[in-house]
Structures are given as C-alpha cells and as structure tokens.
Amino acid sequence: MKKKKVTIKEVAKLSEVSIATVSQILNGHEEKFHKNTVAKVLAAKQKLNYEPDYFARRMVMKKSKTIGVLVPDVTNPFFNTLIRGIERELYKAGFMTLLCNADLEEEKERTYLNELTRRGVDGFIIANSAISDQEINEHLRKKEKPFIIIDQKKEEGFSDAVVTDDFVGGQLAGMHLYELGHQEIAIVIPQNAPSNIQQRLFGLYSIFESNHIKVIHAPLTKAGGEEAVLSILTSKATAIFAANDELAFGIYAGLAACGKKIPEDYSVIGYDNVEMCTYVTPQLTTIAQPITKIGQLSAQLLIKRIDEPTKKWEEILLPVELIKRTSTAPLK
C-alpha cells in the first residue's frame, strides 16, 4: 500500500504554527521569524520526513528555480565546456539546468524555446545562431522572460550578453601567419556565418588583402572541415584558418587522407582552444577563448537579471589570446 504523502498542514500542526509560517520558513525566509520558531518548523519537517511539493512551491514563490540552456551542438567540445561553466554557477545559486541540444536544426530550436517558455523556466541562456530576432521577441521579450545571449548570437542593446573579441582573434591569427611568411590564406567558415564568426574574418582582412584570402564555406563540424579540404587543395593557400577547432580537426583528417602533412604542406590554426587541441598530432595552434568563464559569467548575469528585471542591459567583453603550438610553421 502506498504511503500517504505528508502535507504542510501536518508540519504546521506538529510545530504549532500557521501553514503560512511553515511555507515562509521552508521557502527561504527564515530571517522573518524567531530562531525558536524556525527550529520547531525544521524539526517537524525532519520528524515527518516532509518534502515540499514542487508545483505548490512554485505557485507560492512564482519561480521554478530552473534555467533553460539552448546550445546548437552538444557534441562540440566548446559547448561541453561552456555548459560546465554555466551549470556550476547555476547550481551554486540553487537553480537547476535544463539543457536543450538543437542539433543545428532551426525547427528544433523553435520547439525548445516554446516548450521551455510554456513550462515556466525562470530564464534562458541562448548560444544558438539560428534563433531569429522574431522568435526572441515572440517568446522572450513579449513575455518578459530574462535571457542571456552568448557565443554565436549577439543582441546588442536588447539583452545582457557575454562576448569575446572576435575581431582581435582574427587579427591575432592573421598576424601569426603573416609573421611566419604566409601570403595566401584559406579561411573556413559557415555559409551565412553569425556575427561573431564574421568578425574573425574581418580581423583576418585587417592583416591580408582580400585577394590573398580564399573564403571556403563549411558547417562548424569535423565533417565540414573534411569537406573543405578539396577546395583548400585547389587554392593557392599555404595556411588555413579554421573558424573553430572542430573544423580544424576535420581539416587534419581530410589533409591526411590526401597525403598532406601539417605543418610541412599546410599550416593550420583553429579557434576556441578546446582540450583536444593538445591531443591531436601536431598539437593545434589556436585562438583561445575563456570558455568556462563565458559560461560562469553568463549564469551570473542571468541570475542578476532575474533578481533585478529593470536594471540596465550589461555586456561583458572578454579577451582572446593566441596559443602557439606545432600546427603552424614558417613558410619554406
């Protein structure tokens, strides 16, 4: 026979206080009551083995203590690291993380956004480029849902945001290759690249004239990198700038399949500095982003926004740096 669930009324009766007092104390407002009252309520809760009903508690607090996190590709190690940073901060603040992996599918992103809104999450952390301004307006702004934009999408002036200096990242990559003597560069980026990746291209343009840069379009995946190799081989490029490390790893595989060596035949530089960069051969030169910190700061900003809905929009700009390893070498 199933044991009957203990109610808040029974806790109130045992502790000899009102139901409202029990509710307030168990929902984190102990400071409003005498320490003896708090002690009686907590003792009654423990004796009765009382567990608050999640949905009833949500009705009282007007909060779910959950945050929806949307990412485009959970298999990408950049997002693995990003999520760890987010989850760590949300957990410390007493929030649960609801992770949604969109698999780079626009319809899936839209469905997740709608469902998370319907289920009453307290806020959103969005790292998806395909979500349109219209979707954000419809699901978030109109319903006054707090949200943070990170990595692939930037809503300047319309949301809090954590961004990195992608233009400088492109400059650093370009300057490194220029100093090694390379004059013909291939850059691999997605078609209709989001604004942050376009900034990496613009940074490269600040170092090399456009007629010395071959732009090759491919998805931000290892498969995309492999597919890009044929276009690289038919270009004049002696060095390759991949828009993220995942692309670079695919380029490694594609070049190896064609009998080409790194860095003897091509210098390769990536972007992100995921952990795998030090486990491939040769180790990947890349532009490092502080990925964990991006996640942590995004969570902190969102929590502040939930607590202070009308505060001024805040944008945090983080620096990037060149990490020199052995996938780039002087042009012979």
Q: Quick one: pLDDT at residue 97?
A: 93
Instruction: Find the radius of gyration of the CA atoms of the chain.
Output: 25
CA 42, chain centre distance (Å): 38
Token pair listed for 302: 């969102």
Q: How far apart are alpha carbons 258 and 237 in whole angstroms?
A: 16
Which residue ranges make up each domain of the chain? 8-61, 66-164+291-319, 166-290
CB 66 within 8 A of CB 54: no
Domain 166-290's class? alpha beta
Tell me, yes or no, if the two domains 8-61 and 166-290 fold the same way: no
Q: Which amino acid is it at 125?
A: I
CATH number of the domain at 66-164+291-319, please? 3.40.50.2300
pLDDT of residue 135: 67
Give the type of residue at 274.
V
Q: What is the pLDDT along the chain (332 residues), one digit of tens a residue?
A: 455 678 888 888 888 888 888 878 887 778 888 889 989 989 988 888 887 665 555 545 556 789 999 988 888 899 999 999 999 999 999 899 999 988 877 788 878 888 888 888 899 998 865 565 666 666 677 667 888 888 554 555 567 888 899 999 999 999 999 999 999 999 999 998 888 899 999 999 999 999 999 999 999 999 999 999 999 999 999 999 999 999 999 999 999 999 999 999 999 999 999 999 999 999 999 999 999 999 999 999 999 999 888 888 888 999 999 999 999 999 98
Topology (CATH) of 8-61: 434 Repressor (Amino-terminal Domain) (1.10.260)
Q: Which amino acid is at 317?
A: L
d(CA 194, CA 190) in angstroms, rounded, equals: 8
Q: Which two tokens stand for residue 162?
A: 């954590």
Residue 126: what residue type? Answer: I
